[in-house]
């Protein structure tokens, strides 16, 4: 009897955690899409062809919004990425490596939010590290995934490559703003596609 109650309680808790995870990740994806638009609305004078997105942290009307958005997104990509790794990567060594890179990139995004452009060098280190680490995470995930699923692996490798190439947009524009927007949208698209994939697998496992 005790075992039955324990199993029922455990299953209920697991279902609630999965439900919270789904809502939170979808919310963080939505925040990733809307936060630059919201900040632009409240800081109409900011020209993203001349200023990076992090400049919103220096504007009084958008600083708090931008800070909260980055924190939410950092937790979202960590939670989603961890679930993706657990379900789609079977090799334990690959899992450990990917999780280390994912955790490091999420930490760097939090650092980007906390350490604003007022501390120029430190901010650039955090922002640049997030750009490279998260980009590398997606590319490496795709590379490992291609060992068993070539098509799905190719999608992540291609997305990672495009995210890296988005940096070339600094050539026609005097700031990172446009490049960062493209990078974020590619990041959101990849997370959304893999989020849907993971949820399809979870549904099959529960049937």
pLDDT single digits (tens) 166-187: 888 887 877 788 889 899 999 9
Q: What does the pLDDT average to over 147-156?
A: 87
Please state, in angstroms and rounded to a whole number, the distance separating the CA atoms of residues 207 and 199. Answer: 13
- The lowest-confidence range among 7-11, 60-64, 121-125, 194-198 is 7-11
Q: What does the pLDDT average to over 55-79?
A: 93
Q: Which residue has the higher pLDDT, 153 or 203?
A: 153
Average pLDDT over the chain, rounded to an integer: 88
Among residues of the chain, what percentage have pLDDT more than 90?
A: 58
**By the 8 A CB rule, do 123 and 112 touch?**
yes
| pLDDT computed for residue 207 by the predictor | 59
Q: ∠ at Cα 64 (60, 65), nearest 5°?
A: 110
Please state, in angstroms and rounded to a whole number, the distance separating the CA atoms of residues 113 and 130. Answer: 11
H or E stretch at 92 = helix 92-114
Among residues of the chain, what percentage have pLDDT more than 70?
A: 92
**By the 8 A CB rule, do 65 and 42 touch?**
yes
Which pTM value belongs to this model?
A: 0.88
| Band of residue 48 on the pLDDT scale cut at 50, 70, 90 | confident
Q: What does the pLDDT average to over 69-90?
A: 93
- The lowest-confidence range among 7-16, 38-47, 83-92 is 7-16
Please state, in angstroms and rounded to a whole number, the distance separating the CA atoms of residues 54 and 181. Answer: 11
φ and ψ at residue 52, rounded to 5 degrees: -75, 165
| pLDDT computed for residue 6 by the predictor | 45
Delimit the domains of the chain by residue range: 2-206
- The lowest-confidence range among 1-5, 72-76, 91-95, 129-133 is 1-5
């Amino acid at each position: 009897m005790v075992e039955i109650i324990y199993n029922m309680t455990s299953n209920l808790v697991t279902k609630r955690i999965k439900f919270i995870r789904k809502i939170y990740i979808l919310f963080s994806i939505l925040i990733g899409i809307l936060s630059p638009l919201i900040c632009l609305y409240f800081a109409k004078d900011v020209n993203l062809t001349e200023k990076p997105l992090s400049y919103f942290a220096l504007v009084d009307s958008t600083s708090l919004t931008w800070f909260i958005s980055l924190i939410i997104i950092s937790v979202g990509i960590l939670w989603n990425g961890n679930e993706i790794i657990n379900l789609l990567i079977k090799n334990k060594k690959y899992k450990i490596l990917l999780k280390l890179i994912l955790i490091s990139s999420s930490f760097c995004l939090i650092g980007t939010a906390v350490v604003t452009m007022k501390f120029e060098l430190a901010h650039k280190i955090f922002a640049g590290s997030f750009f490279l680490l998260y980009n590398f995470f997606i590319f490496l995930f795709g590379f490992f995934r291609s060992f068993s699923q070539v098509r799905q692996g190719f999608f992540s490798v291609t997305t990672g490559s495009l995210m890296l190439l988005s940096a070339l947009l600094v050539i026609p524009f005097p700031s990172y703003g446009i490049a960062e927007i493209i990078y974020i949208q590619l990041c959101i698209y990849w997370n959304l596609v893999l989020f849907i994939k993971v949820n399809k697998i979870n549904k099959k496992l529960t049937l």
